Amino acid sequence: MTAHPGREFRLASRPDGEPTLDNFDLVEVEVPDPGPGQVLVRNLFISVDPYMRPRMNDVPSYVPPFQVGKALDGGAVGEVIASGSDDVKVGDLVVHDLGWRDLALVRSKYMHVVDPAIAPSLYLGALGMPGLTAYVGLLDVAEFRPGDTVFVSGAAGAVGGMVGQIAKLRGAARVIGSAGSPEKVAYLTDQLGFDAAFNYREGPVRRALKAAAPEGIDVYFDNVGGEHLEAAISSLKVGGRVALCGMIGSYNATGGGTGPANLSLAIGKRLTLRGFIVTDHQGRLPALRDEAGSWLRDGRLVCNETIVDGLANTPDAFIGLLRGRNTGKMVVRV
């Protein structure tokens, strides 16, 4: 039995507020040959995503917290270099959940072989978890209907950019996005086809949203919570719907926040606010890959990425993501 030298990131300590490099340890490990049903994967791209930040806190949540001293994990795509499974062969490209490392020993039932004609990193973005989050959040959770006016926060991120594009491609009347820099705002309108976008750092979100959607909105896809959610509740029309997807604005918070002070408007406006977790909706992945795959082939879907090079820079990429340094999907090229 051969051992393969690899490296993996472990959680050195739990972040107090914003993570720092000290919270992460890069450790050399020996990865064994795959046993029966196992596959050894050399990761090509690994994913950093906002949901990883709350997993670094020691609080029970919908996914178990990361453990101090143990390897981190997350989405990754790589090439099979040894296989103990009849279903997967050496050279296959596979997407799986053991990121934050270069060599991953994965059980074959926890991976998917992907289409080598498609850029592999897209399986971490548009065709992966972020794309599925946008797809089910907009279509199933917020019950999007053609003709709706849709507002999405964090719109220059991997999920938000997909939400806006899917809404347009599915017949939205108007799509509005918020982001945290003038460059991102321009990216939304110029590259992704948003009808309007604004920089939430330049003034009250409520005022910017009213200006962008004077007649109100039908759907709000919430990636950030806080002031954005309150502004959206103000702007929502009767029968409006909110998909509660993430509250990145609070992920680094150490004290208690405040909720939307205008939530009582939900009564008279008959609003529905609904939280969801993408892992409940894996059954919709084939539908996403069909529909978004076809848009990709037609050149109708823009998939921007912010690529950070080198496994060792994964914590930098992650911290940058939480600071909004990405446009589109943030990935690490191993």
Q: In angstroms, give the least distance from the CB of 159 to a copy of itself.
A: 13
Contact 163, 242 (CB under 8 A): no
Size of the site for a copy of itself (CB under 8 A): 33
* Closer Cβ to a copy of itself, 229 or 319, answer by number: 229
DSSP 173: S
CB of 249 to a copy of itself, least distance (A): 9
Q: How many CA atoms lie within 13 A of 83 on its CB side?
A: 16
Q: Which of 150, 175, 213, 244 binds a copy of itself (CB under 8 A)?
A: 244
- In the complex, what is the shortest distance from the CB of residue 224 to a copy of itself, in angstroms, rounded to a whole number? 10
Q: Which residues, in sequence order, are CB contacts of 254 under 8 Å at separation 6+?
A: 16, 17
Residue indicated by tokens 């309007």: 196
The Cα–Cα gap between 220 and 172 comes to 13
Our finding on whether 258 is near a copy of itself (CB under 8 A) is yes
Which residues have C-beta within 8 Å of that of residue 219, sequence separation ≥ 6? Answer: 138, 142, 144, 148, 149, 150, 151, 167, 240, 241, 242, 243
268, 283, 286, 299: which one binds a copy of itself (CB under 8 A): 268
160 binds a copy of itself (CB under 8 A): no
| Residue 147 sits in the site that holds a copy of itself (CB under 8 A) | no
Pick the binder of a copy of itself from 131, 157, 260, 315 (CB under 8 A).
Answer: 260
Nearest 5°: phi and psi at 45?
Answer: -135, 140
The contact pattern for a copy of itself, residues 272-301, with x = CB under 8 A and - = no contact, is: xxxxxx--x---------------------
Whichever of 112 and 274 has its CB closer to a copy of itself, that residue is 274
Chosen residue from 69, 91, 259, 310 binding a copy of itself by CB under 8 A: 259
Q: Other C-beta atoms within 10 Å of 226: how many?
A: 20
In the stretch 197-236, what mask flags binding to a copy of itself with x, by CB under 8 A? ----------------------------x---xx------
| Structural tokens at position 283 | 């059954």
Choices 90-98, 115-123, 171-179, 257-265 (CB under 8 A): range interacting with a copy of itself: 257-265
- Which residues are CB-contacts of 154 (< 8 A; sequence separation ≥ 6)? 160, 178, 179, 223, 224, 246, 248
Nearest-angstrom CA–CA distance, 282 and 79:
23
Binder among 19, 78, 164, 246 for a copy of itself (CB under 8 A): 246
Nearer to a copy of itself by Cβ, of 36 and 255: the residue is 255
Contact string 44-73 vs a copy of itself (x = CB under 8 A): -----------------xx-----------
Find the helix packing angle between 158-169 and 285-297, rounded to 10°. Answer: 70
If phi over 0 gives left and psi between -120 and 50 gives alpha, with beta otherwise, what is residue 195? alpha
Q: For residue 268, count other CB atoms closer than 10 A to its CB.
A: 8
Q: Which is nearer to a copy of itself, 56 or 273 (CB)?
A: 273
Binding residues for a copy of itself restricted to 14-33, rule: CB under 8 A: none
The nearer residue to a copy of itself, 82 or 273, going by C-beta atoms, is 273
Structure-token match 């089910």, residue found? 136
* Residue with smaller CB distance to a copy of itself, 64 or 299: 64
Contacting residues toward a copy of itself, per CB under 8 A: 61-62, 225, 229-230, 244-247, 250, 256-277, 280
